[in-house]
Amino acid sequence: MSSTNAPFGLRPAYHPSGLDRATALTDGIASAYATAILKGQPVKMDTSGTIVVAAAGDAFLGAFSGVEWTDTTGRRHVSNNWPANTAYQTGSCIAYFYQDPNIVYEIQAAGSLAQTSIGDEADLSNTTAGSTTTGLSAATLSTTLAGSGNSAQMRILNLAPYPDNAWGDSYTIVRAVIAEYQFAGAAGTAI
């Protein structure tokens, strides 16, 4: 499994409380937003109060989960991804995403990680990769670790407990939490 490069983006594994519910944000994506947003893709809040795709190195909120909207012809859509350049009737879009910073995610690394990476941090990579056909993200975790005293987007907690997934495999699948959470900025720091 982790010897095959088959990334799946950020997949919620669990929450310490046992509840890992997606947040619903009305008009959470700007009508006609020009970038596809895929399930499992990292997202952040922009200054207009809508979610956008987060890039490697950005403080972010969590992972995209899906969306529903009514298009300009009156047809309702429910999808695991946001098709780029889609226009909708005002007030009809509901974007779903995980935003609790305590959620533990599973993510495939872009290469090999050793057990010594536990507690270290790494940025996301390939944040815009994925399939608009399946609607699934192919974001990965970089294997370039931040090192002691430095920060990066995600903190590695453990190995994902799957058969054929071991430390040092070609594409290690790990469990990690958001280390650079967008809403954890210093007081007085706006988006």
Query: What pLDDT is recorded for position 190?
Result: 53
Give me the sign of the Cα torsion angle 189, 19, 82, 180.
Answer: positive
pTM to 2 decimals?
0.92
The DSSP secondary-structure symbol of 99 reads -
Phi, psi dihedrals of residue 183, rounded to the nearest 5°: -90, 15
The pair of structure tokens assigned to 137 is: 């993200």
Give residue for tokens 């993200």.
137
- Which regions in the chain score pLDDT beneath 50? 187-188
Bridge partners (DSSP) of residue 96 are: 24, 66
Burial class (CB in 10 A: 0-12, 13-18, 19+), 106: buried
Q: What is the pLDDT of residues 28-37, one digit of tens each?
A: 999 999 999 9
Query: What pLDDT is recorded for position 2?
Result: 73
Q: What is the pLDDT of residues 84-117, one digit of tens each?
A: 999 999 999 999 999 999 999 999 999 999 999 9
Q: Are 180 and 152 in contact (CB under 8 A)?
A: yes
Query: What pLDDT is recorded for position 1?
Result: 53
The DSSP secondary-structure symbol of 33 reads -
Query: What pLDDT is recorded for position 52?
Result: 97
Q: How far apart are CA 91 and CA 110, in angstroms?
A: 38
